[in-house]
Chains A and B, each alone.
With several copies, the nearest count.
Chain A
Amino acid sequence: MTTTAAPLDVATVRADFPILGRTVREGKRLVYLDSGATSQRPRQVLDAERAFLEIANAAVHRGAHQLAEEATDAYEGARAKIAAFVGVDFGEIVFTKNATEGVNLVAYAMGNAATSGPEADRFRLGPGDEIVVTEMEHHANLVPWQQLAERTGATLRWFGVTDEGRLDLSDVDELINPRTKVVAFTHQSNVLGTVNPVKSIVDKAQAVGALTVLDACQSVPHSKVDFHALGVDFAVFSGHKMLGPSGIGVLYGKRALLEALPPFLTGGSMIEMVQMARSTFAPPPQRFEAGSPMTSQAVALGAAVDYLSAIGMDRIAAHEHVLTEAALKGLAEIPGVRVVGPLDTEDRGGAVSFVVEGVHAHDAGQVLDSLGIEVRVGHHCAWPLHRRMDAAATVRASFYLYNTLDEVQALLDGVRETQKFFGVA
C-alpha cells in the first residue's frame, strides 16, 4: 500500500497520550502493544468528555430545559459525526455499550421476530434455517449465534480457516445457500490480522437473500471503512478500540432493516406508547436505545472520530503497515518463532500473533512485561481459531498510530530475551 500524504508524526501524536509517558516494572519505559484489546485515549478525547460533564450534562431526549437541549445536541451531534466517519446516515447508527451488545442486539431481535408482526418476517428463524459464521470469529461474533441457533432450532455452520490464516472460501457456494438466513463474519481478525473479502461474501449472501453482519471492531479503528460501499446489512464496532471511551459501541444497520427489526432491550426512551398491558415502539435509532444512554461517552467518541479524521485514516493505516511489516520481517528472522496468520502484509492488519516454540505464551508475556512491553497472551477470545491453528495460546502484539519502529525493535529483542531466559535458543 502506498500513500501520498506525509507520514504520521508519531512524536507529536504520542505527546497527546498522557499514559504513554508512564513507566512500568522497575522503571521500564511503557511499550504498549495491546491496542487490539483496548486503545489509549488522547487528551483531546478526555478533555471533550470532561467539558461536556462540566457544562452540559443532562438527561438527553427527555428534558425540555436548556441543559437537556445542549446535552441532546451534543449526543446527537456525536451520532452524526460517527455516521459520517463510517459512510452511513445519521439514523443508521445505534449506540450500544460495546460491540458485543451490538451482535447480541441483532441476534436477540431476530429471535424476537417470532412474536412480532409481518414486517419482521425476514428476520424470523427456525429449524431448517442456517446461520453461517467463521472459524476465525471473536467469541463476540460466535457465541450469540450459537445461542440464537439453540433458541430457535436453526443450524449453525461455519467457514474454515486455511493454514495460512485465510478464510477457506472453497465451500462458499455450499455454505451460503437458500437456507442461509444470516452470514456473520469479521472484517479483520483480531488474532491473525487477516482482512476478509467483505464485498464478495456480501454478494453471495445477497444472492440467496441472507442478511450480513460484519464485525468491524478491528477494521474501523485502523483504516477507512465505508459500510454503504461494503454493502453489509449490519456492522458493529467499539469505542474503546478507537481512542474513545469504554462503555460505548456502535451498531450500524441499513435504515430499512432497522425500521423492520423488532426491539431488543426495552424500557424508557424507546417507546411510542405504553399501557399496562402492552406497548408500541419508537422508530430507529431510538427503538434500540432503551434507558439512559452513554451520553458523555458518545460525545467523547465523537471527539475520537474528530481526532482520527484530523490525522487521516489513510495515514494511520500506512503507519501501521510499516510497523506490521517490520514486526513480521523481524519475527521471521528469529528461529523457533511461528507467526499465526498471514506472513505478508497483503490484506492484513496490524495484529501479529505468534508462538515461541518451547515457551508458553503466558511465560513469554511475563518476560516481555518485565521489559515494559505490554502484549496480550492467551486465545484472545478466539479459542476455536487457536485450536484450528494448533496453538493453545499465542502472544499478540497489536499496533496503533502511537507506536514506533523502536517499539517493534523492543518487541523483537524481547522475544530473543524470552528464548534466552527459558533456555530454548
Chain B
Amino acid sequence: MQLQQMYQEIILDHYKNPHGRGLRDPFDAESHQINPTCGDEVTLRVKLDGETVADVSYDGQGCSISQASTSVLTDLVVGKPIGEAFKKMDAFVELMQGRGQVEPDEDVLEDGIAFAGVAKYPARVKCALLGWMAFKDAVSRSEGAKA
C-alpha cells in the first residue's frame, strides 16, 4: 500500500518522539518559517561554534512530515561543520524535489532516506522542507550577524 511507503516507520517514530525539540539558549540566530497553504510553522534556533553547528533547537506545529523531517535534521547537522551540514541539506532537497526518481544515499542522509516516498507527493514536499528552510535561514543570519 502506497501509504506505508510514504509514512515509513522511521518517520512516524520521529514524529512521535522528536529529537532535540524545544527552544534552547544560547543561540546565534532564530528563523520562523510558515507554510502558507496550511499554516504550519516552525521556529528554529542555531548555535554555531566556529564553523561547527553546536546546537539546533526548534518548536512548531505541523504535520508528521514537517515535524519528523525537522527531528531528522537535528540528528544530521548537530556537531557537523557547516559545510557538511549544507551538503546534507542539498542532498535532502534534491531527494525531495526528485519526484521519487532520486536514489538517496544512506551514508549522507541516514534516517532522511525514509522521506524518499514523500517525494512522490509534490504537495508534501514543502512540509518536508519547512525545517530545512528555517535552518538555512538561521545559519545565514548568524553568519551575517558575525560578519
A binds B: yes
Report the minimum CB–CB distance from A421 to chain B (whole Å).
Answer: 7
**Listed stretches A102-110, A185-193, A234-242, A362-370; interface member:** A362-370
Which residues from chain A contact B3 at a C-beta distance below 8 Å? 366-367, 370, 421
* Chain B residues in 8 Å Cβ range of A26: 1-2
Complex CA–CA separation, A421 to B9 (angstroms): 12
Check if A362 sits within 8 Å of B39, measured CB to CB.
no
Measured in the bound complex, the distance between the Cα atoms of B18 and A423 in whole Å is: 17
Query: Could you tell me if A386 and B121 are in contact, using CB atoms closer than 8 angstroms?
Result: no
Quick one: which of A61, A360, A370 contacts B64, CB cutoff 8 A? A360
Q: Are A64 and B121 in contact (CB under 8 A)?
A: yes
Q: Measured between alpha carbons, how far is A14 from B37 in the docked complex, in Å?
A: 31
Q: Which residues of A contact B40 (CB under 8 A)?
A: 360, 362, 392-393
A310 at the binding interface (Cβ < 8 Å): no
B134 close to chain A: CB less than 8 A: no
Q: Which of B37-66 contact A (CB under 8 A)?
A: 37-40, 61-65
The reply to whether the CB of B26 lies closer than 8 angstroms to some CB of chain A is no
Pick the contact of B65 from A282, A362, A367 — CB < 8 Å?
A362
Are A273 and B36 touching (Cβ within 8 A)? yes
| Chain A residues closer than 8 Å to B36, beta-carbon distance | 271-273, 282
Closest A residue to B6 using CB positions: A366
Chain B contacts of A393 at CB under 8 A? 38-40
A379 and B123 within 8 A (CB): no
CB neighbours (8 Å) of A383 from chain B are: 39
Q: Is A360 a contact partner of B122 (Cβ separation < 8 A)?
A: no
B94 to nearest A CB, angstroms?
18
- Give bound CA distance, A378 to B123, whole Å: 11
Q: Is B87 engaged at the interface, CB distance under 8 Å to the other chain?
A: no
A69 close to B122 (CB less than 8 A): yes
Chain A contacts of B1 at CB under 8 A?
26, 370
Given contacts A26-B2, A361-B38, contact A366 B121 (CB under 8 A): yes
A379 to B39, CA, bound (A): 7
Nearest Cβ on chain B to A280's Cβ, whole angstroms? 9
A360/B63 contact (C-beta < 8 A), A64-B123, A383-B39 known: yes
Within 8 A of A (CB), among B106-147: 121-124, 127
Query: B122 contacts A72, CB within 8 Å?
Result: yes
Given that A73-B122, A370-B3 are contacting pairs, would A378 and B64 also be in contact in the complex, using a CB cutoff of 8 Å?
Answer: no
A63 within 8 A of B: yes
Give the residue name and chain of the A residue nearest to B61 (CB): A392
Chain B binding surface, main DSSP class: mixed
**Chain A residues within 8 Å of B38, by CB:** 361-362, 377-379, 392-393
Q: Which residues of A contact B12 (CB under 8 A)?
A: 422
Could you mark each residue 369-408 of chain A with 1 if its beta carbon is under 8 Å from any beta carbon of chain B, else 0?
0100000011100010010000011000000000000000
How many cross-chain pairs have Cβ atoms below 8 Å apart between A and B?
70
Q: How many residues of B contact A (CB 8 A)?
A: 22
In the complex, A151 has a CB within 8 A of chain B = no
Asked if B77 lies at the interface with its beta carbon under 8 angstroms from chain A, I say no
Q: Does A43 contact B (CB under 8 A)?
A: no
Query: In the assembly, what is the distance between CA of A363 and CA of B124, in Å?
Result: 10
Neighbouring B residues of A360 by C-beta, 8 Å: 40, 62-64
Q: Is B85 part of the contact surface with A, judged by Cβ < 8 Å?
A: no
Which residues of chain B have C-beta atoms less than 8 A from A73's C-beta? 122
B34 at the interface (CB under 8 A from A): yes
Q: Is the CB of A69 within 8 A of B61?
A: no
Assuming A271-B36, A272-B36, A383-B39, is B2 touching A69 (CB within 8 A)? Answer: no
| Least CB distance, A287 to chain B, in whole angstroms | 11
Residue A68, interface by CB 8 Å: yes
Asked if B34 and A362 make an inter-chain contact with CB atoms under 8 angstroms apart, the answer reads no
* Alpha-carbon distance between A37 and B2 when the two chains are bound, in angstroms: 25
Inter-subunit contact B2/A25 (CB<8 Å): yes
Is A69 within 8 A of B121, CB to CB?
A: yes
Q: Is the CB of A61 within 8 A of B121?
A: no
A329 CB within 8 Å of chain B: no
With A and B bound together, what is the CA distance between A367 and B37 in angstroms?
18
A window 5-34: CB within 8 A of B = 25-26
CB neighbors of A among B11-40 (8 A): 12, 34, 36-40
Can you spell out 23 A-B residue pairs with CB atoms less than 8 angstroms apart? A25-B2, A64-B124, A68-B123, A272-B34, A273-B34, A360-B40, A360-B63, A360-B64, A361-B63, A362-B124, A362-B127, A363-B7, A363-B63, A363-B64, A363-B65, A366-B124, A370-B2, A378-B38, A379-B39, A383-B39, A392-B39, A392-B62, A421-B7
**Interface residues, chain A, with chain B CB atoms under 8 Å away:** 25-26, 61-64, 68-69, 72-73, 271-273, 282, 360-363, 366-367, 370, 377-379, 383, 386, 392-393, 421-422
| 19 extra interface residue pairs, beta carbon distance < 8 Å, beyond A64-B121, A392-B39 | A25-B2, A26-B1, A63-B123, A64-B124, A73-B122, A360-B40, A360-B62, A360-B64, A362-B38, A363-B63, A363-B64, A363-B65, A366-B7, A370-B2, A370-B3, A377-B38, A379-B39, A383-B39, A392-B40
